[in-house]
Structure 1
Amino acid sequence: MKTIPEAILKAWDEEREGFCILTTATPDGEPNAIYVGIVGHCPEGFFIANNYFHKTLANLEANPKASLLFITKERKAYQIKGTISFLTEGPVYDAMKAANKPEYPGHSAALLSVETIYSGAEQLV
C-alpha cells in the first residue's frame, strides 16, 4: 500500500464530481466496469460499498486487481490502481456503513489498497 498524496486527497474531497467507475476483469481478462456511488478514502486506501456486487464480486474473488476512476469539476481524471480486499468489521467497514444509505445492504467494504495513481498518462504514485 502506498500513501495517497495530499493533492489527490484534495481533488477527491473538494473537486470530485459525480460517480466513480470501478473496473475489474474476469479470470480470462474480460473487463467489467460499474458506477459506484458509496466511495471514500481512509489511511488504508479507498473503500467502496459492496451493496450489489455480482459480476464484480466474482471477478475480484478470482483476481483482486482493480482500478477506480474519478473526475474533477475541471475534468481532470484520476485513476487509482491496486488490490481489493473485503472487510466485514473494523474502522474501514464502519466508515463504509456510515457513508452508505440505510436502505442499502452494505455487505462488506471493498478496500482498494493503492499501488499506483495516474492522471491521464502521467503516473503520480
Structure 2
Amino acid sequence: MAKLTPEALQAWQQHDERMVFTTTDANNIANSIWVICAKLINDEQIVIANNAFYKTLENIKRGSKGVLLYIAPERESYQVKGSLEYYTDGPVYDDMKSWLDPKFPGKGALVLNIEEVYYGAEQVV
C-alpha cells in the first residue's frame, strides 16, 4: 500500500463533504456515486460507508478497484486509487458504525487500500 502525501492528507482534512467514488463493471464501464460518509483510518486506508450501494457493491464483489475523488478548499482535486475490501462485521465494520451518523444505514464498510494518489492529472504517489 501507498501513503497519502502530506499535501493530500491536509487536503483530506479540509475536503468538501461530497466526494465521488468510482468502480467498474465486468465490461470496464465506470459506475460513479456520491459519497459523504468516509473516514481516513490511517494514511494508507479510507473507509467508505455503504449506505446505498447497488451496482457499486456488485462491482466490489467481482473484484473492481476503486477511485475516490475529493476536492480541497482551494478547488484542488485529489484522486485516490486502490484495491477494495468489504466488511459486514468485524472491527472495521464496528468502527464505521461508531462514527457513522445513525440516520444512515451503514450496511457495510468498504476499505479503499491506497495504491496511487493524483493531484489533478499529476501522479504524486
TM over 0.5: yes
> Equivalents in 2 of 1:107, 1:18: separation in Å?
20
In the alignment, which residue of structure 1 is the partner of 2:56? 56
> Equivalents in 2 of 1:19, 1:85: separation in Å?
21
Amino acid at match of 2:78: Y
In the alignment, which residue of structure 2 is the partner of 1:106? 106
Amino acid at match of 2:83: T
> Equivalents in 2 of 1:124, 1:12: separation in Å?
15
Report how far residue 116 of structure 1 moved.
Answer: 0.1
Check if 1:24 corresponds to 2:23. Answer: yes
In the alignment, which residue of structure 1 is the partner of 2:37? 38
Deviations 1:30-64 (CA, angstroms, capped at 9, x unpaired): 11100001011012411100111111000111133
In the alignment, which residue of structure 2 is the partner of 1:115? 115
RMSD over aligned Cα, in angstroms?
1.3
Which stretches in structure 1 are left out of the alignment for 5+ residues? none
Deviations 1:64-119 (CA, angstroms, capped at 9, x unpaired): 301000001111000000011012211x3233212312132212110000000001
Greater Cα offset, 3-12 or 110-119: 3-12
Check if 1:67 corresponds to 2:56. Answer: no
In the alignment, which residue of structure 2 is the partner of 1:80? 80
- Whether contact under 8 Å (2:11, 2:73) holds in the other structure is no
Moved over 3 A (4+): none
- Whether contact under 8 Å (1:20, 1:70) holds in the other structure is yes
Identity of aligned residues (%): 37
> Equivalents in 2 of 1:63, 1:94: separation in Å?
23
Greater Cα offset, 97-106 or 107-116: 97-106
Report how far residue 122 of structure 1 moved.
Answer: 0.7
> Equivalents in 2 of 1:123, 1:7: separation in Å?
13
In the alignment, which residue of structure 1 is the partner of 2:90? 89
